[in-house]
Structure 1
Amino acid sequence: MLTALLFDLDGTLTDTDTLHLQAFRQLLREHDGRELTQAQFDAQVSGRANGPLFADLFPQASTVDCLALADRKEALFRELAPALEPMPGLLRLLEHAEVNGIGMCVVTNAPRLNAEHMLSAMGLGARFEHVLVAEELARPKPDPLPYLTGLECLGADAGQALAFEDSLPGVQAANGAGIFTVGIATTQTPERLLAAGAKLVVNDFNDPQLWAVIDTMRG
């Protein structure tokens, strides 16, 4: 029986990767004149937590400087995203969950300020029981810990849950937690999402294949 839905945020609840790419490009140009291609962003940046990501991007910078650079990039992102659109079909799925008593939480590698901003910008600030962010946990995605923590918060077993992810680290994390993982093909190809562990890949939350899975899990 389906008792829990666990959602990534960036690229899953709303399509934000273009805005993140713009923010990273501005930061790198300001810092040292570097350029960042779409291919580099997809392969090296998308879906990663800021701690390890900024250490890789700025290997000569101190931990304090990396934190400051990350804060600058996220401030740029929030400036670029005063309003955001939920992914097609998301509101339908949230309403279905609420009517049927299915628990919901957000599991994201985004910082707390970004997560709260994005949910508010979509008008979804009060729709989730829990919002779990990587910076407040011992290990970020691709470690399964964030999704295992989400299951614990909702009092659900992995076999009673669905996870939704658009990034490869996120799919690896949710799959590693034993959750049936649905890949959202906003930032990666279906082939890469399936190879990372997704059991199903859809374009958005209106896909009939997704609703067939939900119907099967109703019990």
Structure 2
Amino acid sequence: MSRNFSLLFDLDGTLVNTDELHFHAFQVLLGELGRSLTLETYQSRIMGATNDVIMREFFPDVPQSRHRQLADRKEALFRASVSRLEPTAGALELFDWACSRGVGIAVVTNAPRANAQLLLNGLGLADRIDTLVIADELARGKPDPLPYLTGLERLGGDARHAVAFEDSLSGIRAASAAKIYTFGMRTALPAQTLLDAGAGDVIDDFTAPSLWRMLDEAVQTVS
């Protein structure tokens, strides 16, 4: 099914702010191994990266055969810390807008499937998306454009008539490399950092007037 317009969302830090929970899980994991982690390091080198990349960078002295075990431990710590979830302001209204206009919705994430399903169910969004792209199940994750290209393909969409939403450097680089106009979410990183990574605009949440003006104009153009 071809789509006139598509919306592609990152999950963590974009549809829901889980950065504090992920940061704490990494702190616990590293603490168990006698190591530590600063918030700056988390934001610049971990946030938005795949577990494979994170494990190689932070545990080069640990046998690669143990990397999956360490990643699974971190994700289990994260899932155990998830309780009540609040969607980013304006997210539900944006999903309503998309549904009423037949706009395709994809969630494109570097998170494991178990995490993504937990969050989407907790937000009440699992049944409101058209496709869920798990980068870990593809040949390459973000910052490679493959996850976003896969999302577009599954939606029957076109990068020229699509918008992506991302909060991390790797995510913005991935969506931008897929030629999708990308809104940077100012969840954790400074606006200029997001723009330098390739974001076309920066917003605090989905209530931003600039977002709604752009969407209304874009949909009218392709209708």
TM-score normalised by the chain length of structure 2? 0.95
Task: Name 1:201's counterpart in structure 2.
Answer: 202
Residues in 1 aligned to 2:80 and 2:116: alpha-carbon distance in whole angstroms: 14
How far residue 52 of structure 1 moved from its aligned partner, in angstroms, is: 1.1
Confirm or deny that 1:29 pairs with 2:22: no
Confirm or deny that 1:162 pairs with 2:137: no
Residues in 1 aligned to 2:110 and 2:59: alpha-carbon distance in whole angstroms: 19
Task: Name 1:7's counterpart in structure 2.
Answer: 9
Q: Report SS of the residue matched to 1:126.
A: helix
Task: Name 1:107's counterpart in structure 2.
Answer: 108
How far residue 133 of structure 1 moved from its aligned partner, in angstroms, is: 0.7
Residues in 1 aligned to 2:12 and 2:170: alpha-carbon distance in whole angstroms: 13
Residues in 1 aligned to 2:28 and 2:76: alpha-carbon distance in whole angstroms: 11
Q: Residues 94-147 of structure 1: CA distance to partner in whole angstroms, max 9, x if unpaired?
A: 000000000001000001111111111212121111111111101000001110
Q: Report SS of the residue matched to 1:181.
A: strand
Task: Name 1:116's counterpart in structure 2.
Answer: 117
Return 5+ residue gaps in structure 2 as ranges.
Answer: none
Could you tell me which amino acid in structure 2 is paired with residue 45 of structure 1? I
Task: Name 2:52's counterpart in structure 1.
Answer: 51
Query: Is the 1:2–1:217 Cα contact (8 Å) retained in structure 2?
Result: no
Residues in 1 aligned to 2:58 and 2:46: alpha-carbon distance in whole angstroms: 9
Task: Name 2:192's counterpart in structure 1.
Answer: 191
Q: Report SS of the residue matched to 1:11.
A: coil
Residues in 1 aligned to 2:64 and 2:100: alpha-carbon distance in whole angstroms: 46
Query: Is the 2:4–2:157 Cα contact (8 Å) retained in structure 1?
Result: no
Residues in 2 aligned to 1:80 and 1:38: alpha-carbon distance in whole angstroms: 18
Query: Is the 1:110–1:134 Cα contact (8 Å) retained in structure 2?
Result: yes
How far residue 83 of structure 1 moved from its aligned partner, in angstroms, is: 2.4
How far residue 2 of structure 1 moved from its aligned partner, in angstroms, is: 5.4
Task: Name 2:130's counterpart in structure 1.
Answer: 129
Could you tell me which amino acid in structure 1 is paired with residue 205 of structure 2? D
Q: Report SS of the residue matched to 1:204.
A: coil
Residues in 2 aligned to 1:91 and 1:199: alpha-carbon distance in whole angstroms: 23
Q: Report SS of the residue matched to 2:7.
A: strand
Return 5+ residue gaps in structure 1 as ranges.
Answer: none
Q: Residues 52-109 of structure 1: CA distance to partner in whole angstroms, max 9, x if unpaired?
A: 1111111022222110000000000011112211000000000000000000010000
Residues in 2 aligned to 1:10 and 1:97: alpha-carbon distance in whole angstroms: 20
Could you tell me which amino acid in structure 1 is paired with residue 31 of structure 2? R
Residues in 2 aligned to 1:93 and 1:2: alpha-carbon distance in whole angstroms: 16
Could you tell me which amino acid in structure 2 is paired with residue 10 of structure 1? D
Residues in 1 aligned to 2:218 and 2:159: alpha-carbon distance in whole angstroms: 12
Could you tell me which amino acid in structure 2 is paired with residue 49 of structure 1? T
Task: Name 1:70's counterpart in structure 2.
Answer: 71
Q: Report SS of the residue matched to 1:59.
A: coil
Residues in 2 aligned to 1:114 and 1:134: alpha-carbon distance in whole angstroms: 13
- For the aligned residue pairs, the C-alpha RMSD in angstroms reads 1.0
Could you tell me which amino acid in structure 1 is paired with residue 17 of structure 2? D
Residues in 2 aligned to 1:121 and 1:72: alpha-carbon distance in whole angstroms: 21
